């Protein structure tokens, strides 16, 4: 019998707010232990929580970004359990009335078991034929708001708890069991992260533990509808860890069933070092959280005006952006992918591409040259002699001594239109491609216009056939060996001769013309 995996993810994301969920303490990572704390987030008796409105906005914003409904009634509940890092002995969360529900995420994924969502209208077919051409959809059950807990540390002889994280706004995004493989789970998480980062909901910094996830997985015979026993792998803190855990867990479950065993609903732990999952507890020992509405907090009833304001913060989704770049500028998927992930670079490109006859040529300059130059300049700024690209944007470094020059796309020395000029100089064959590289380098460093640089450096391509004829005659006379090689059928010898002519012209000859003229002369 063939088996298939069924996966649903519960993803916890720390929200990008200045303060915590119920108090004014800073929502900041990396402070000395227990310095961002107060009676409220320490859960002392008699205190009252006050909801952080920005956290409410970011949760609803997430709802919009994930195509969810925003119910006009939501509330907070207490989820009771005991754990040393949670001093109130309950976590405030949203149980049966979450702030958002019933949405979906779409992302590119080509794998088995995915029913593709058709799209790509208007994208040229040669660009659509791409390794990542299938759009998968995972439904979102809900995205609700809760609070993070503290963090325990275990030392040699004792343990400690840091409550800086206690009360940090935490959003839980629950997916429907629509995921069918380890790779698909991985791509779903990456897509979700990109949406949340670009939407300004969370920085999703994995190193700082801003995203953690519980993985629910079961298996069932292919073709059946009924779900198998749900096994939950708790508290994963990396996307590659999720993928590895599933790559272990799915075959394990299938193996149990194939060898006649049964699976029971249970919770497991992933061991990063040994690469296996281990059982922690089964259904019989499941927690009873005794949820009930938090009497300290008013229910939520978001009004039209408030919702409209949140809606203004909705950004274009990364996948829609990629498809738009492919459609509007006829870019191949790889270029559009770059502009999808790198917002400033994509915006810069777009500012120019709207006037470009050949947006692909502009994309090449932006991706291959401009991006590299900016990175290089930013690298050099930390070195001994920082390039003074925009002195006025100099910031004081941490030491306060040397100015840190950060090169960004908004303060480049050349005007965006100069890139269009450069493209047309190449297209109308005024300069050849190696001269164009020189021109780009110079305009990046000095801000001079491409035409001025061509003039100044004498880079205009020689298309004067008379001059090229003379260079060719000279080279053939100077290299009788290769010339005879070519005549006797070794066509590769032409490249050598071509190179010599280019050299003689100081790189300015029109390479196509050189090839033509040389061949004509040698075949005579």
By CB under 6 A, name the one of 3, 4, 9, 300 that touches ligand ADP. 9
Q: Is 496 exposed, middle or buried (0-12, 13-18, 19+ CB in 10 A)?
A: middle
φ, ψ of residue 451 in degrees (nearest 5):
-60, -40
Query: With contact defined as beta carbons under 8 Å apart, do 188 and 138 qualify?
Result: yes
Q: How many CA atoms lie within 13 A of 199 on its CB side?
A: 29
- C-beta of 179 vs 370, nearer to ligand ADP: 179
Residue 356: phi and psi, rounded to 5, are -85, 140
User: Which one of 9, 41, 192, 377 is in contact with Zn ion (CB under 5 A)?
Assistant: 41
Question: What span, in angstroms and rounded, lies between the C-alpha atoms of 18 and 164?
Answer: 13
| Using rule CB under 6 A, residue 374 touches ligand ADP | no
Q: Which is nearer to Zn ion, 27 or 432 (CB)?
A: 27
Binding-site size for ligand ADP (CB under 6 A) equals: 15
Q: Residue 19 or residue 253: which is nearer to ligand ADP going by CB?
A: 253
184 binds ligand ADP (CB under 6 A): no
Partner from ligand ADP, Zn ion, none binding residue 25, C-beta < 5-8 Å depending on class: Zn ion
Identify what 227 binds: ligand ADP, Zn ion, none; CB under 5 to 8 Å per kind. ligand ADP
Taking the least distance from each CB to Zn ion, the nearer of 297 and 409 is 297
What is residue 271's three-state secondary structure? strand
Task: Yes or no: say if 52 and 19 are a contact pair by the CB < 8 Å rule.
Answer: yes
Q: Pick the closer one to ligand ADP by CB: 85 or 176.
A: 176
Q: Which of 26, 38, 276, 356 binds Zn ion (CB under 5 A)?
A: 38
* Residues in region 230-269 near ligand ADP by CB under 6 A: 230
Count of chain residues binding Zn ion (CB under 5 A): 5
- Rounded Cα gap, residues 149 and 168, in angstroms: 8
Nearer to Zn ion, 23 or 65 (CB): 23
Q: What share of the chain is helix, strand, coil (3-state, %, to 5)?
A: 40, 20, 40
Instruction: Return the residue matching tokens 């979906």.
Output: 104
Is residue 47 a contact residue for Zn ion (CB under 5 A)?
Answer: no
Site for ligand ADP in 213-232 (CB under 6 A): 216-218, 227-228, 230
Work out which of 6, 25, 191, 483 binds ligand ADP, going by CB under 6 A.
Answer: 6
- Residue closer to ligand ADP (CB basis): 229 or 418: 229
Q: What is the closest distance, in whole angstroms, from the C-beta atom of residue 90 to Zn ion in the complex?
A: 16
Q: Are 507 and 435 in contact (CB under 8 A)?
A: yes
Buried/exposed code over 441-474 (b: 16+ C-beta within 10 A; e: otherwise): ebbbeeebbbbebbeeeebbbbeeeeebeebbee
Stretch that binds Zn ion, among 25-33, 168-176, 261-269, 477-485 (CB under 5 A): 25-33
- Give the x/- contact pattern for ligand ADP in 125-164, rule: CB under 6 A: ----------------------------------------
Is residue 56 within 8 Å of 145, Cβ to Cβ? yes
Distance CA(247)–CA(253), nearest Å, equals: 11
100 sits near ligand ADP (criterion: CB under 6 A): no
Whole-Å CA distances, 242 to 189, 236, 421: 9, 6, 48
For 162, other C-beta atoms within 10 Å of its C-beta total 18
Residues at the contact surface with Zn ion, assessed by CB under 5 A? 23, 25, 38, 40-41
Residues at the contact surface with ligand ADP, assessed by CB under 6 A? 6-10, 174-177, 216-218, 227-228, 230
């Amino acid at each position: 019998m063939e088996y298939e995996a069924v996966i649903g993810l519960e993803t916890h994301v720390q929200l990008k707010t200045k303060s915590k969920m119920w108090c004014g303490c800073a929502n900041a990572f990396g402070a000395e232990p227990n310095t961002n704390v107060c009676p409220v987030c320490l859960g002392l008796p008699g205190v009252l929580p006050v909801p952080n409105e920005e956290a409410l906005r970011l949760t609803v914003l997430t709802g919009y970004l994930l195509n969810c409904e925003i119910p006009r009634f939501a509330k907070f509940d207490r989820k009771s359990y005991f754990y040393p890092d949670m001093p109130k002995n309950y976590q405030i969360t949203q149980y049966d009335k979450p702030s958002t529900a019933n949405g979906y995420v779409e992302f590119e994924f080509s794998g088995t078991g995915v029913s593709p969502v058709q799209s790509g209208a208007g994208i040229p077919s040669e660009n659509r034929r791409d390794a990542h051409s299938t759009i998968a959809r995972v439904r979102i059950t809900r995205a609700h708001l809760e609070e993070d807990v503290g963090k325990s540390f275990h030392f040699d002889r004792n343990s400690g708890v840091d409550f800086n994280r206690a009360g940090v706004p935490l959003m839980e995004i629950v997916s429907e069991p629509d995921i069918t493989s380890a790779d698909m789970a991985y791509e779903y998480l990456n897509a979700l992260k990109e949406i949340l980062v670009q939407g300004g909901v969370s920085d999703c910094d994995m190193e700082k533990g801003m995203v953690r996830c519980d993985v629910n997985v079961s298996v069932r015979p292919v073709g059946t509808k009924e779900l198998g026993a749900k096994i939950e792998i708790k508290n994963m803190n990396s996307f590659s860890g999720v993928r590895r855990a599933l790559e272990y867990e799915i075959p394990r479950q299938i193996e149990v069933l194939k060898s006649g065993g049964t699976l029971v609903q249970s919770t497991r732990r992933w061991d990063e070092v040994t690469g296996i999952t281990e059982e922690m507890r089964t259904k019989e020992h499941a927690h009873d959280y005794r949820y009930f509405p938090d009497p300290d907090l008013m229910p939520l009833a978001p009004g039209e005006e408030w919702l409209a304001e949140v809606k203004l913060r909705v950004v274009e989704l990364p996948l829609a952006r990629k498809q738009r770049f492919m459609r509007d500028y006829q870019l191949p998927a790889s270029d559009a992918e770059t502009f999808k992930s790198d917002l400033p670079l994509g915006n810069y490109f777009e500012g120019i591409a709207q006037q470009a006859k050949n947006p692909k040529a502009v994309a090449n300059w932006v991706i291959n040259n401009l991006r590299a130059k900016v990175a290089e300049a930013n690298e050099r700024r930390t070195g001994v002699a920082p390039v003074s690209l925009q002195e006025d944007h100099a910031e004081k470094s941490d030491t306060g001594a040397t100015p840190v020059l950060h090169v960004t796309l908004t303060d480049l020395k050349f005007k965006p239109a100069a890139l269009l000029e450069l493209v047309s100089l190449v297209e109308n064959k005024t300069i050849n491609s190696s001269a164009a590289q020189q021109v780009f380098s110079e305009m990046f460093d000095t801000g001079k216009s491409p035409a001025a640089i061509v003039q100044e450096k004498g880079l205009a391509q020689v298309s004067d056939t008379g001059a090229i004829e003379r260079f060719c005659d000279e080279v053939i006379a100077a290299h009788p060996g290769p010339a005879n090689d070519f005549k006797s059928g070794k066509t590769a010898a032409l490249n050598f001769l071509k190179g010599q002519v280019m050299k003689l012209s100081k790189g300015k000859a029109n390479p196509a013309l050189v090839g033509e003229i040389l061949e004509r002369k040698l075949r005579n």
